[in-house]
A and B are shown apart, each in its own frame.
Chain A
Amino acid sequence: MNNTVSIIDSNKTFTPLVFYNDFLNKIATFYKENKKEEIVFKLFEKGDDEIYSSNYRIDPISTPLLLSIIEQLSKFHSKPLYLLLYNNNATISVMEFLFRSNFFKTAGQKNYYNFNGNNILNFNEEYLGAFKGREIRKDHIIRAYKKSDYPDIDFSPQTTKAEIDLRDTINSLTAYSVQEHFTELLFDNENTLKNHNTYIDILSELITNGVLHSGSTTYAMMFVDKLKTKFSISDNGIGFKGSLMSKNDFPFYYKKDDFRNSISKTNYNFNVQFIENLLDIFETLFYSSLKERKGLFDLMLNVVLNTNGYFRLHTENCQIIISNRLFKYVNNLQELREEILATHNQFELVKITEENHKTKTLEVKEKIKNEFKKLYTNIVKYYSEETQFSSVRFFNVKFKGVHIEVEIPNN
């Protein structure tokens, strides 16, 4: 059988980085070689061979990514994909973890009470059993959010006002689910406990984005261990570019491709496609930093400044990593962001005139743009010199959708 692609390789923990670097490459190679054939996944590299010399491990937060790519491919073949399972001494721990974290339920086709499988994977259920009986925390399970969870809601707003209302409603509803699903994990350590409401905001905002814009399922997983709390949220929708492109009328302070046009074209020694990707991310963040309403940009600032954590955002070929290393820029941006929010607010409260509001907003906007430019040049420059520790990573294989991982230290 040469139509199989293995997912977890022996003696190599399946982390998000392995996912982007190796696993996506494997899939790409498969499709290059087998144009017509249907892909079959093999959960463990060696299967039932070399049981005693193999060792399989998976980072819990890479499961949403895995489900996202499977969903994407199963849409492409328009049927659930086949997954080969193995239940032996080497695989049983990972099998048990995936089983207990609802991986198979989420990907399978069965309907459970209050829970529908997404029907993206086909597998032999007889392999799911004879586990070691190790309990995992009941909160460490994979969550899936999609439009059909909200059958009463009309997802095609006609006006901007209706669009905002829809967003608020979905945000409220996801905030309830987030509270139900993750509060206990957030209460687990002091750092997240202190800011638990901020995290509920962050998670619900990200999931809302996924549910509203991706047109697919948004998968999420939160995991707490001794050192950190980490979560990952993944969808395979139209991405940033798609959602910005679909908009036609912008408020006075933003016009299409505002940031992109302000960057002078320089030649870098890497792919143009990569730069375009990076610019898409910057464009979205830039627009988000000017808005009246809080969104993606604000939560990125929050993660980095208030919790000392890492915020990694991946779309298509590019991933940016915002952390304390960029503190200088992020801190400046935070100040400017507050200024612009205050301006919008004062206008809404009729404390300044429309004229004043416009001049002031445009003034701050220029400052923000400069700051963004600095950040952008720094990121790109640093990348050309040193790829391992840079704040941006480029991957050869494109993976559609928005994929976010957040890591917060526990103390």
Chain B
Amino acid sequence: MIVSKFNTGDFIYYDLHSEEVITSNFIEDVNLGIYCDRLQSITMERISSDITTNGTEGEKKIAFDFTNIVAVQTNINSYFTTLKNSGFSLVFVNITKEIIAQLGYDSIANSDNINSTVIFFDKTTLSPLKREGFSLFYFFENKNDFFPNNFKIEPVFKEHFKNKLKLYCENHDKQHTSSYVYLTSYINIKKLISHEKQFCLYSIIKLAIKALKEWRQSAPIPPYFPGVKSETNAPILVCQSLNSSYFVSVLSNLLKLDVLILDKIGPINKIYNSMNKSIIQDRNYIVVSDLVCLGTEVKIVKNIIEFLGGRYLGNIALIKTETLKKSDIIKKDATVAVFSIDRTNNKELKYFITTDLENNE
């Protein structure tokens, strides 16, 4: 199972950290979460066998993204050397000098290599850790002719996400379940989860990394912290519907956080009076949703948490709808999501929110 392979048209892209997370958490069941930062040979084995069996659609150019990889297993260089020797042009993205030296590739010089500082998060102090490295390292010596210097995977990922979503947008034309508006299409998250398992996992890993970046110091989200978890007040992930329970369970595994399930917030809304037993005073809570449209359910959960003395940190979701202009959104209320439905793509997705009121023309 490869989750992070993208064909950008010019080259094939693999995200090594995400693949490593998949190997350690889902294939080998060691539960290191997204904090695993060593590239192991079983991960490279999986990737290189994907290259040989599934092919690269004729492309002989591959980019390996080393973002978040701090160390590599000894002798892992044979995988890259074999690929190079069978005619592939390789590019390493965001790699530290240490790793290059460990791979034994410091003798390979290319004038197009770009020196830069690679940033990690220190697991113990939770503050950024800077290492010298390359934002681009060409594993060949002739002039580069395929890799754009300012390449970012984000736009490719978003384009890909949009195309996937198109497949699971269904005609709806009914009122929204929890807010008083009409929706023209309904995004079937259940289908997306079951039919695009790999892609969904990759998106959840991205979401976990985003959440970590957002709250790691303020929450804090500590993988290794002296003392007991409850004393350091690690946040609790709140699940508020059946769909979000899937995301919550994967996220809790990746972030190593506890889970609280509050079902029946939406679409069917029913609140029981046993709530006060499940919310702990002064603990931090992060609400997890599948898709945030107008945010009504998130607000309900937020109110419950705060009413019972918990601290609401914020909300994460796979997809969010941006109904306001960027400048009008208050940062504190913004949902952290990996994909936004906004004015640039809602037409394509046929996703409109309407009301019975007359339009202002």
Complex CA–CA separation, A360 to B169 (angstroms): 64
Q: Are A171 and B81 in contact (CB under 8 A)?
A: no
Nearest Cβ distance between residue B26 and chain A, in whole angstroms? 12
A257 to chain B, nearest CB (A): 26
- Please report the C-alpha to C-alpha distance between residue A261 and residue B52 in the assembled complex, in whole angstroms: 45
B32 touches A175 (CB 8 A): no
Query: Distance (Å) between the CB of A146 and the closest chain B CB?
Result: 17
What are the interface flags for A179-200 relative to B under an 8 Å C-beta threshold, 1 for contact and 0 otherwise?
Answer: 1100110010000010001001
State whether A176 and B81 are in contact (beta carbons under 8 Å apart), knowing that A183-B224, A187-B124, A346-B107 are contacts in the complex.
no
* Residue picked from A200, A293, A341, A348, most chain B C-beta under 10 Å: A348
B30 and A176 form a contact (CB under 8 A): yes
Contact A173 B28 (CB under 8 A): yes
Cβ A348 vs Cβ B38 within 8 A: no
Chain A to chain B contacts (Cβ below 8 Å), 20 pairs: A168-B42, A168-B45, A168-B75, A169-B45, A171-B74, A172-B42, A173-B28, A175-B38, A179-B30, A183-B224, A200-B38, A293-B74, A293-B75, A294-B74, A294-B75, A341-B104, A342-B107, A349-B105, A350-B85, A351-B107
A9 contacts the other chain (CB 8 A) = no
Q: Mark B129-145, 1 if CB is under 8 A from A, else 0.
A: 00000000000000000
Candidates B32, B41, B84; contact of A180 at CB < 8 Å: B32
Tell me the complex Cα distance, A177–B38, Å.
Answer: 13
Residue on B nearest A180 in the bound complex, by CB = B30
- Residues of B close to A351: CB separation below 8 A: 107
CB pair A176–B75 under 8 Å, yes or no, is no
Residues from chain A with Cβ under 8 Å of B124 in the complex: 187, 193
Main secondary structure of the interface of A (DSSP, over half): helix
Contacts of B38 in A (CB 8 A): 175, 179, 197, 200
Instruction: A184 to B337: give the CA distance in the assembly, Å.
Output: 32
Q: Closest Cβ of chain B: how far from A178's Cβ, in Å?
A: 10
Determine the chain B residues whose CB is within 8 A of the CB of A37 once the complex forms: none
Per-position binary interface string of chain B over residues 104-132, scored 1 when its CB falls under 8 Å from any chain A CB and 0 otherwise: 11011000000000000001100000000
Residue A201 lies at the interface, judged by CB distance under 8 Å to chain B:
yes
For residue A197, which residues in chain B have a CB less than 8 angstroms away from its CB? Answer: 38, 70-71
B74 engages A176 (CB within 8 Å): no
Is A172 within 8 A of B40, CB to CB? yes
For A183, what are the chain B residues with a Cβ–Cβ distance below 8 Å? 224
Closest-by-CB residue of B relative to A176 is B30
Interface centre among B75, B85, B224 (most CB of A within 10 A): B75
CB A184 to nearest CB in B, in angstroms, measures 6
Q: Which residues of A contact B32 (CB under 8 A)?
A: 176, 179-180
Q: List the B side residues contacting A346 at CB < 8 Å.
A: 107
A165 within 8 A of B: yes
Assess whether A345 is interfacial by the CB under 8 Å rule. yes
CB–CB A179/B36 < 8 A = yes
Answer whether residue A280 sits at the interface, using C-beta atoms and an 8 A cutoff. Answer: no
Q: Does B73 interact with chain A (Cβ within 8 Å)?
A: yes
Query: Smallest distance from the beta carbon of A292 to chain B beta carbons, Å?
Result: 8
B81 & A349 in contact (Cβ 8 Å cutoff): yes
Bound together, the chains give a CA A298 to CA B104 distance in angstroms of 14
CB distance from B324 to the nearest CB of A (A): 43
Residues of B72-101 contacting chain A, CB below 8 A: 73-78, 81, 84-85
**A172 near B41 (CB under 8 angstroms)?**
yes
Task: Give the Cβ gap from A133 to chain B, nearest Cβ, in Å.
Answer: 18
Give min CB distance, B88 to chain A, whole Å.
13
Contact between chains at A169 and B104 (CB < 8 Å): no
Minimum Cβ distance to chain A for residue B333 (Å) = 36
Query: B28 touches which one: A176, A184, A200 (CB < 8 A)?
Result: A176
Q: Which residues of A contact B (CB under 8 A)?
A: 165, 168-169, 171-173, 175-177, 179-180, 183-184, 187, 193, 197, 200-201, 205, 293-294, 298, 341-342, 345-346, 348-351
B71, B84, B104, B108: the one within 8 Å of A342 (CB): B104
Are B104 and A345 touching (Cβ within 8 A)? yes
Chain B residues with CB under 8 A of A193: 124
Query: Which chain A residue has the least Cβ–Cβ distance from B125?
Result: A193
With a cutoff of 8 Å between Cβ atoms, the chain B residues found around residue A169 in the complex are 41-42, 45
Q: How far is the CA of A183 from the CA of B31 in the complex (A)?
A: 13
Contact of A345 among B24, B73, B84, B107 (CB under 8 A): B107
A305 to B24, CA, bound (A): 31
In Å, the complex CA distance between A180 and B25 comes to 12
A179-B32, A294-B74 are contacts. A171–B41 as well, Cβ < 8 Å?
Answer: yes
Instruction: For chain B, residues 1 to 50, give those with C-beta under 8 angstroms from any C-beta of chain A.
Output: 23-24, 28, 30-32, 36, 38, 40-43, 45
**Cβ contacts under 8 Å, A345 to chain B:** 77, 104, 107
Within 8 Å CB of B74, what residues of A?
A: 171, 201, 205, 293-294, 298
- Contact residues in B for A175 (Cβ distance below 8 Å): 38, 40, 73
Residue pair A349, B84 in contact (C-beta under 8 Å): yes
A171 and B24 form a contact (CB under 8 A): no
| B36 and A173 within 8 A (CB) | no
Q: 20 extra interchain contacts, Cβ-Cβ under 8 A, other than A183-B224, A197-B38, A346-B107? A: A168-B42, A168-B73, A169-B45, A171-B41, A171-B73, A171-B74, A172-B41, A172-B42, A172-B73, A173-B28, A176-B24, A176-B32, A177-B30, A180-B31, A187-B124, A200-B71, A342-B104, A345-B77, A348-B85, A349-B107
List A contacts of B104 (CB < 8 A): 341-342, 345
Q: A169 — nearest CB in chain B belongs to which residue?
A: B42
Nearest Cβ distance between residue A164 and chain B, in whole angstroms?
A: 8
In Å, the complex CA distance between A350 and B141 comes to 12
Task: Report A-chain residues with C-beta under 8 Å of the C-beta of B75.
Answer: 168, 293-294
How many Å lie between the Cα of A176 and that of B23 in the bound state?
A: 10
Q: A180-B30, A187-B123 are in contact. Are A168 and B81 (CB under 8 A)?
A: no
